[in-house]
Structure 1
Amino acid sequence: MKIKLTSIFVNDQEKARTFYTEVLGFVVKQDMPAGNYKWLTVVSPEGPDDLELLLEPNINPAAQAYQESLYTQGIPTTSFFVDDVQAEYDRMSKLGVVFPTLPSETEWGVLAVFDDTCGNLISIHQG
C-alpha cells in the first residue's frame, strides 16, 4: 500500500493554483473539469512525481466547519518538509506570505507556519 493522492480543502481553486505553483513552487499535474469545479492536482518538482496533492474545492459544510475550526485554533492542516526553514521563510516573506508562527526550534526540528491564502495554515518543517 502507498499514498498516491492526498487532498487539501481550498476555498478558491484558482487562487490556490496560483499560490501553490507561483509561491510554493509546485507543478500542476492534472487540471480537468469536474462539474462546476476542477480536478486540480499539483506535485513537487523534487519528486516523487506520483504523489499528488489535490486542491479540493471546499464546498462541503462539514469540511468548511473543520477547516475554519483548525484555522481559528492555529492548527496547521498539513506539513511540508524543506531543507532550510529559515531560507524558505525569508523567500516566502518577500513574496508577501503571512507567517503566524515564525521559524522556531522545537524538539523535533525547526518549523514555521504560514497562511496559504485559501483557508489553511500550513507548517514547514526541517528535521
Structure 2
Amino acid sequence: MRITLISIPVRDQEKALKFYTEKLGFIIKKDAPLEGGNRWLTLVSKEAQDGPELLLEPAPNHFEPCKVFQDALMEAGFPYTQFDVDNVDSEYERLTKLDVKFSITPTKMGTVKFAVFNDTCGNNIQIVENL
C-alpha cells in the first residue's frame, strides 16, 4: 500500500490553482473536466513529480459537512495539512514577499521549526522544517 493522492478542500478551484502554482510553486499533473464545471485537478511538487498528487477538491461547495469542518479548522487556527520544506525561514520570507499571510511566523518547537499561512481558499497550511 502507498499514498498516491491527498485531497485538500478548496472553495474555488481556479483561485486555488493560481495560489498553489504561482505562490507555492506546485505544478499541474492532471486537469480534466468533470460535471458541474468542476475539474479533476491535481498538482505535484517540482522536486517530486512522480510523488503523491495533491487534489484541489471542490467538496465544500457540494458537501455541507466538508464546509463545516473546513470552517471549524479555520476558526480554531488549525492547519488542514502540512508541507515539508528545507528551510522555514527562507520559505517564510519568499512567501511573505508574494503577499502570503501567515498566522504563525517561524517558530521552533523541539526538533522542528514551523509556520502557518492562509491559502486564500479556506485552509490554514503548515510548513515544517526538521531540525
Q: Same fold (TM over 0.5)?
A: yes
User: In the alignment, which residue of structure 2 is the partner of 1:21?
Assistant: 21
**Uncovered stretches (5+) of structure 2, i.e. residues with no partner:** none
User: In the alignment, which residue of structure 1 is the partner of 2:4?
Assistant: 4
- 1:27-49 Cα deviation digits (max 9, x unpaired): 00011001120000000011052
User: In the alignment, which residue of structure 1 is the partner of 2:101?
Assistant: 98
1:6: how far off?
A: 0.7
**Structure 2 residue identity aligned to 1:29:** K
Higher mean displacement: 116-125 or 106-115: 106-115
The question of 1:46 aligning with 2:47 is answered: yes
Instruction: Report the 3-state secondary structure (helix = DSSP H, G, I; strand = E; otherwise coil) of the residue aligned with 1:100.
Output: strand
**Structure 2 residue identity aligned to 1:86:** D
* Misfit runs of 4+, over 2 Å: none
Aligned residues: 127
* TM-score, normalisation: structure 2: 0.95
1:5: how far off?
A: 0.5
- How do residues 30-109 of structure 1 correspond to structure 2 at under 5 angstroms? 30-36=30-36, 37-57=38-58, 58-59=60-61, 60-109=63-112
Instruction: Report the 3-state secondary structure (helix = DSSP H, G, I; strand = E; otherwise coil) of the residue aligned with 1:66.
Output: helix
**Counterpart-to-counterpart distance in 2, 1:13 and 1:80:** 19
* TM-score, normalisation: structure 1: 0.98
- The CA RMSD over aligned residues, in Å, is 0.8
**Counterpart-to-counterpart distance in 2, 1:75 and 1:31:** 29
**Uncovered stretches (5+) of structure 1, i.e. residues with no partner:** none
Identical aligned residues as a percent: 48
**Counterpart-to-counterpart distance in 2, 1:35 and 1:113:** 33
Is the 2:45–2:51 Cα contact (8 Å) retained in structure 1?
A: no
